[in-house]
Amino acid sequence: MLDLTAFVPKARFQPGVALSPDATKVAYSSNVSSHYGLWIAPVHGGEPRCLVEFPDQAVRQIAWAPDGRSLVFMADRDGDEQYQIYRIPAAGGTPEKLSAADNRQYRLAADPYDPNGRYLIYAANDRDETVQDLIIRDLHDGREHRHIPVGKASYQAGRISPDGRWLVVEGFNSNIDSDCYLIDLAKPDAEPVKVTDGSAHFDPVGWTPDSRAFYLLTTVWGEFIVGARYSLDDQSLRPAVTADWDIETVREAGETLLWIVNENGRSVLNVRRGDNASTQPPLPPGVINAIDLSSDGKITALHLETATRPAEIAVLDLAGGDLTYLTDSRPPALATIEPIEPQTVTFTARDGRDVHGLLYRPHGEGPFPVVIWIHGGPEAQERFTYERSGLYQYLLNHGIAIYAPNAAGSTGYGVTFRTLIYRDWGGIDLRDFEDATAYISSLNWIDSGRLAVAGASYGGFGTLSCLTRLPDLWTAGISLYGPSNLVTLAAACPPTWRAFVNIVLGDPVADAQFLTEHSPITYVDRLTAPLLAIQGARDPRVPQDEADQLVDKLRGRNVDVHYIVYQDEGHGFTNRNNEIAAYKQVGDFLINRLTPET
């Protein structure tokens, strides 16, 4: 049998791509050596080169200066999410730190420069750690113009119009409640003006080339996210592109309009050039995690991933339809085995809702043990991606099936479905997980006596809820940085998340009784299945105490619990060696307990 390392991609990439202004190069973040560094690859052939790599920091979002002579990027230390902003010459050199406070969070705008490259746009909580301000920085003299949000909204640094006149900003309250604000940059003292109205999601994603309108994603007209167009001429908001699923982004440049539709977990790219009818370039079925469109609208850079090929950086010729991979992260196992595509499956929950999911069946007859993998979020979605750095394909190669349900709270199936979990963690979602277990156990090729449950972040919470409140179902469980106590989780949330956490989870004081009743720690005495818990010591979202308190109680009862803490990690993995080691531990733990005869 192949070891996990044979399935691990040669590199992983942060979900972002940045085309140079002349569209000859693509910048991205890769961990091909160890930590995520800043890399540049030529579009028309040639070897990528590393521009910068820190020994203990991970490069995140990247943007080119308009003249193409430098780049700015964000980086955090050991996953602490205290992002700092740096600038570096495109030719290479020493990064210049632009942010001031090491223990505060700075976030670059999606398009952070004005057209002349004088002003840099970002958000920060450096004035007040509980508030995310919007900052316009003059790179010539270093002066900052700061906008402080009104009420509980958090400014998400937005996008500047191509003529440099307007800045559109998102005021974020929750994932389903946000507004768009316009700032007139021609007026030094102009304040943000709210231009959307209604309790809905409004997320600006790009401008028209003439700067007379901007595109945004919104749920104002119904269950699914629509690509809309806001006109500055008459202050009107109208649908631009729609589908029976969520629109993920809309971009326009030159004569090209493109948009992405999330069709039940797959990204479908649509392209319209000039007055021609829209087309769908023949991309492999998977997920576009990030996209950047050249200023002439002729090519686009993609962060593209499928269930059977790891994420890659690629460019697509929008006129000819040719896709060129600039990276090749495929591991050696994919050259010797046939990787398995998931099937889309649906079951009916006890309240009549359809619950979608992805089911991976190993080669052979079975019956097979199965892992029910719960995605994070909870506002996220299990999609057609090469999951967990090759872990899914590794388990499948060992004859272990994987079922990944998109239970209540998942995105992609409408606002109502998404918000079912608001202030009800461990309620409707747990009932869906129980129904999912009944569904998977009904399949004749599944061995219902060998079931495991696993997940990361919220998925770890779902795992612990299953193990403690449905204890008789499981052979084993795995929680990666999963919260065990909703009261302490809500109390310890990052400062800028307070209002958001109150909406989606609850208040740690006012809702303490309800949160306690829905916390796995309350039922920990019922947990009997072997458990592997993995935690990052620097996690700002799910502090280490969430795992410590659970593990202490389990060890007091002599439960079979394996606990691993990575001292130099936060919420997830930024160090490649740590990630490989952790998923090897996960894989071996499951194989030893679900297939002991092997």
Least confident of 40-44, 55-59, 415-419: 55-59
Q: Look up residue 195 and give its amino acid.
A: V
Question: What mean pLDDT comes out for the span 82-94?
Answer: 94
Q: Check if the beta carbon of residue 502 is closer than 8 Å to that of residue 495.
A: no
Structure confidence at residue 21 (pLDDT)? 96
Question: What mean pLDDT comes out for the span 221-232?
Answer: 95
Residue 493 has pLDDT above 60, yes or no: yes
Q: Measured in whole angstroms, how far is the alpha carbon of residue 100 from the centre of its chain?
A: 27
User: Cα separation of 132 and 18, whole Å?
Assistant: 25
CA nearest neighbour of 496 among 131, 230, 28: 131
Name the token pair of 467. Answer: 């193990």
Residue 46 has pLDDT above 90, yes or no: no
Structure confidence at residue 384 (pLDDT)? 94
Structure confidence at residue 598 (pLDDT)? 54
Residue 281 has pLDDT above 60, yes or no: yes
Q: Is 4 exposed, middle or buried (0-12, 13-18, 19+ CB in 10 A)?
A: buried
> Homologous superfamily of 340-594 in CATH?
Alpha/Beta hydrolase fold, catalytic domain (3.40.50.1820)
CA nearest neighbour of 221 among 241, 206, 193, 249: 241
Tokens 């697509």, residue? 316
The CA angle 568-570-573, to the nearest 5 degrees, is: 80
User: Cα separation of 75 and 145, whole Å?
Assistant: 23
CATH of 4-330, one of 2.130.10.120, 3.40.50.970, 1.20.1260.10, 3.40.50.1260: 2.130.10.120
Global pTM reads: 0.91
Q: What is the pLDDT of residues 92-135, one digit of tens each?
A: 999 999 998 888 999 999 889 999 999 999 999 889 888 889 99
Residues facing 288 on adjacent strands: 304
Question: Distances in Å between the alpha carbon of 303 and those of 201, 271, 289?
Answer: 25, 17, 5
Structure confidence at residue 388 (pLDDT)? 86
Q: What is the pLDDT of residues 295-341, one digit of tens each?
A: 999 999 999 999 999 999 999 999 888 999 999 999 999 999 999 99
Q: SS3 string of 173-232?
A: EECCEEEEEEEECCCCCCCCEECCCCCCCEEEEEECCCCCEEEEEECCCCCCCEEEEEEC
User: Cα separation of 345 and 350, whole Å?
Assistant: 16
Q: What residue segments make up the domains of the chain, in order of their start?
A: 4-330, 340-594
Percentage of residues in the chain having pLDDT higher than 70: 99
User: Cα separation of 345 and 355, whole Å?
Assistant: 8
